[in-house]
Structure 1
Amino acid sequence: MNEPLPEETVHLCIDMQRLFGPGRPWATPWMERVLPRVADLVAARPAQTVFTRFIPPMAPDDMPGMWRRYYEKWHRVTRGEIDPHWLDLMEPLSRYAPPATTIDKTRYSAFAGSPLHAFLQRHSISCLVVTGSETDVCVLATVLSAVDFGYRTVLVTDAVCSSSDEGHDALLQVYHRRFSLQIEIATAEEVLDQWRSRPRRIIGAV
């Protein structure tokens, strides 16, 4: 990190859901590996955490354009076919919501078509600590949107994961080398070290 985290910081945890757990069509093998680090960060600041959940459509025809083609291939994960509990947060994260806030989204970026930006602005948030899944898809889209909106963005390298080792490794290099002025890199322990010495902040629901 370039400097200490401000009081106006939110932990933005992307799509840590059962949908991406073992045995699911979109399984992300690394998710269980990074889950303890994500849980440590959530436990340290539950009321400063925002969880996002990726919500597929009921059926492919409910989506526009190329998304329709996408879900024609992945119809097995549409809400018309899956167990609705697959959309839940993984344990032990779900026990923290509330006080953590949960925001649902239907696109890769957590900012696209969701109340996230309005929520952050309403609570005067200027800095995002980002964790979750996947490094090279939803985390990527969300981080770039955060940069576009001008948020200070800190990516926690040992608390993000992907189903592609190559994609994960390549994107960490891109974040570090191409966006070094706008995307900061930190470990979970570095974030926790700062939070242990600072009072907690309470933010409200969506």
Structure 2
Amino acid sequence: MPARQNEWLIVVDMQRAFADPPSPWASADFYRALPQVERLVEAYRGRVILTRYVAPMPPTGAWVSYFEAWPSLLLPEQHPAWELKLPPGEGVFVETRATFGKWDAAMAARVGQDAALAICGVATECCVLATVLGAIDAGRFVRLATDACAGGTPEAHGQTLGILAGAAPLVELVQTAALV
């Protein structure tokens, strides 16, 4: 079933920090997923949100120890590592969050009360998972484009898809071709 009229696409964190070495967060499968993400952005134009993760500045709480483990990514919001790898273009909104999960009240207000969601991006086991869980907890139906997602490792990607399959019927795992 192609894109639904009331369905929005959320593209999670397709940024340089998750694409390109020497970043410790670079996904080996980022560039495998990117062509599918680009197809989805074009199909959903006018109903697309590109999210950007940025480090919380300054980190507080558990983020302090997190960035002690990942100090090379404690970077200001304007740093090139946080740049998107695909241009927003017309009909595409950009939302920046200092959280793994991107679904929140502001995003819900942007897409509207009755919108379903298609989600893709990186990393499957982290920000994609957190965004999907937040959306389904809020009662949204999610179709996850599995071939337009990339994990930190192929194993982590596959394990996360296994977990999300257990959330059916709130989450439907699909290929990009089913959405365009």
Please report the TM-score for the alignment, with normalisation by the length of structure 1: 0.80
**Residue pair 2:3, 2:44 contacting (<8 A) in 1 also:** no
Equivalent residue runs for 1:117-156 within 5 Å:
117-121=108-112, 124-156=113-145
Tell me which of 56, 79, 85 is aligned to 2:80.
85
* CA 4–26 in structure 1, closer or farther in 2 if over 3 Å, else same: closer
Runs of 4+ in 1 over 3 A off after TM superposition: 3-6
Larger Rg: 1
Aligned to 2:65: 69
**Residue pair 2:54, 2:98 contacting (<8 A) in 1 also:** yes
Distance across 2 between alignment mates of 1:179 and 1:14? 19
Cα offset for 1:46? 2.1
- Say what the alpha-carbon RMSD is for the aligned residues: 1.9
How many residue pairs match? The answer is 179
Cα offset for 1:65? 1.2
Q: Deviations over 1:107-143 (max 9, x none)?
A: 110025x72122223xx45210000001111111110
Distance across 1 between alignment mates of 2:4 and 2:15? 28
Moved more, 149-158 or 20-29: 20-29
Distance across 2 between alignment mates of 1:25 and 1:98? 32
One-letter identity of the residue aligned with 2:16: R
Provide structure 2 residue ranges, at least 5 long, that are not aligned to the other structure: none
Q: Deviations over 1:65-118 (max 9, x none)?
A: 1111111221211125x971221110xx21x33420000011110025x72122
Cα offset for 1:164? 1.9
Equivalent residue runs for 1:90-101 within 5 Å:
90=85, 93-94=86-87, 96-101=88-93
Distance across 2 between alignment mates of 1:45 and 1:83? 27
Provide structure 1 residue ranges, at least 5 long, that are not aligned to the other structure: 193-206
